[in-house]
Amino acid sequence: MSTNTGTIQSTVKALRGLAGGLTLGAAVALTGMLAIPMAQAEAAVASELALDKLILSNGKIIEGEILSETATEVRFKVIVAGISAPATFKKSQIIKIVRGDADPAPDANDADDNRANADQTVDDDGVVISASTDAPRVYVINLKGRFGRAITPTPVRAAVQAARKAEPDFLIVHLDNAWEYRGGGGVQLPDEIQGSFDEFTIADAIEPIFTKEIELEWEKQPHVVFWVGNAMGGAAFLPFLADEIYMEPDGRIGGIGTLEEMFEGVGDEVVRQKQRSLRLARAQGLAIANGYDYRFINALARRSYVLSYDIYGNLYERMPENPNEFVLTDNGKGDNADTENQKVRGTGNDVLTLKADTSLKLGLSSGTAADMDELLELLGILRNHEMIEGRSDKILAAWSKNVDNSLRQMRSLYRDIEAVQVAGTPAEMRRALSSQISYLERIRGIFYKYGEAFGGGVANITQIETQIEQIRIQILLLRD
């Protein structure tokens, strides 16, 4: 992953967007005349870049574009002398996959087809937006609110399953989680915070939803794009599940430092180190499995970790050694320690907070987009796409509302339990105790449904069941 690659990909995408816009926007007036030269121009750009290659066990090398990949097969657009055709290769036939750095040129035939099928509308700016019947379908899921409460596996899974029905070509996940001072007052926290690393367990539970489950359950594999506003705390791990990351201009990924301080003051240092080591390795694995450099995870999580990069986007686990190298994170010791001023402003470098510009330079992000149109432009589909309205956002909003309601309901039920007077005759006491059990069973029911969003601070299922059993003992000992 280098800066060069990111820049070139962005250039190609911008050109593709431009080519598509001109071709389709002017389709009625300039039938065919502009389309073919633009397609050729785009092909010229792409031809300078490496295509994907499949090296087969029979010695053949196939060039083209990987369309999708499963555990057993690779769907591949084979390109020979500018002519393309889809084909499927079993992984057992493939010795090696060499991934190129560019999308291939589109078929001239595709451009003709798009023109022929174009439905045109005029947007507010008077720009002709065309959506051919085979235009790429775009579906957007907005992940907002608190990570671990509004963003948890159950609603995310339901939102992604709702998206599946739309069969989008692009699944855009707009991630902008709340990152506020949790003690109240709404004060924005500094970028680094101790203790958020363990929110990885939530990200780890969400991981298969965007990877294995899409691969298995979706007939048409979408291009999964994470567009990042705030990816802070445990949410910082989510962009590493994307096929491509784009950032908002103020976007940031971070807030999972500092791992070194986790468990501080508990037990022996060697065991604390063990706990930190295994956690870090699991998080590294999530990044590696999805094609990202695990060293970003180290830099996001560890104060003592030193990481630099050069103008080509290469990473070095040391301080910069020449003017073309820049520090991402220093060791945070002595003079290198972030000042309070830097912490509050989020400009420190004891642990990494990835911003839009740095992410782009590192090739981690493919571009920076202030709004959806800019994002679609960068993806090369602004002028020709179909935006699908789905239920995902409603599902996520309903979950948040239900979680809030259920917490209120639980508090109310606990008040009801306390209000029950266990007094009078044994029969009256039995009835009172039974009603307490009934309230506790309702609380348990709420917990089963929404417990993943409650975090700490509320009784868990085991505690509730113990309370129920203790009341049963009281009933057992009542004598008429």
Partner 1 sequence: MLRTIIACIAILLTTAAVSARDIVTLKDGRMVEGDIIREIDGNIWMLVYIGDIKKQEFFSATTITNIERDAVVDVADKPAAGDEPAARSGVPRGMVITLEGMVGVEMAAHKLEELIPMIEEEIGEGGILVLKINSGGGFLAEIPLLSDTIEYKLKPKFEVVGWIESAISAAAMTGITLERLYFMPEGNLGAATGWSGALVAVRGRGLAEAKFLMEKISARGGRPYKIMEAMQGDPDNDFPLSATVDPQTGEVSWYQSEDDGEILVNPGGEILTFNSVTAEQLQFSEGVARDVYELTREMGYDEIDWVGEWEEGMVHPISKAEQANRRWRGFIDSNKGGLSRVARKYLLYRNAAGGAGPDDVGILVGKARGFLRQIKRYAKESPKLVTVTPELGIGWDDFDRWYTQQEDYLRQLTD
Is 322 among the residues that bind partner 1 (CB under 8 A)? no
Distance CA 233, CA 179 (A): 8
Is 339 among the residues that bind partner 1 (CB under 8 A)? no
Choices 110-118, 288-296, 344-352, 356-364 (CB under 8 A): range interacting with partner 1: 288-296
Is 80 among the residues that bind partner 1 (CB under 8 A)? no
Q: Specify the residue, 266 or 423, whose C-beta has the smaller distance to partner 1.
A: 266
Instruction: Fill in the per-residue mask, 409 to 448: x = in contact with partner 1 (CB under 8 A), - = not in contact.
Output: ----------------------------------------
Beta-strand relationship, 61-69 and 52-56: antiparallel
Minimum separation from the CB atom of position 59 to partner 1 (A): 9
Beta-strand relationship, 244-254 and 223-232: parallel
Tell which residue, 245, 233, 199, 216, has the closest CA to residue 157.
216
Distance CA 280, CA 198 (A): 10
Provide the residue type at 52 as one letter.
D
Is 480 among the residues that bind partner 1 (CB under 8 A)? no
Instruction: Fill in the per-residue mask, 208 to 237: x = in contact with partner 1 (CB under 8 A), - = not in contact.
Output: ----x---x---------------------
CB distance 241 to 211 below 8 Å: yes
CB distance 331 to 348 below 8 Å: no
Minimum separation from the CB atom of position 478 to partner 1 (A): 10
What's the longest Cα–Cα distance across the chain? 97
Is 465 among the residues that bind partner 1 (CB under 8 A)? yes
Q: Which of residues 21-60 bind partner 1 (CB under 8 A)?
A: 57
CB distance 234 to 196 below 8 Å: yes
Q: Specify the residue, 149 or 276, whose C-beta has the smaller distance to partner 1.
A: 276
Is 408 among the residues that bind partner 1 (CB under 8 A)? no
Eight-state DSSP code of residue 124: T
Is 99 among the residues that bind partner 1 (CB under 8 A)? no
Question: In this chain, which of 286, 396, 410, 464 binds partner 1, going by CB under 8 A?
Answer: 286
In 206-242, which positions are buried (b, 16+ CB within 10 angstroms) versus exposed (e)?
Answer: bbebbeeebeeebeebbbbbbbbbbbbbbbbbbbbbb
Minimum separation from the CB atom of position 476 to partner 1 (A): 6
Binding site for partner 1 (CB under 8 A): 57, 71-72, 90-92, 95, 212, 216, 263, 266-278, 280-282, 284-286, 288-289, 294, 462, 465-466, 469-470, 473, 476-477, 479
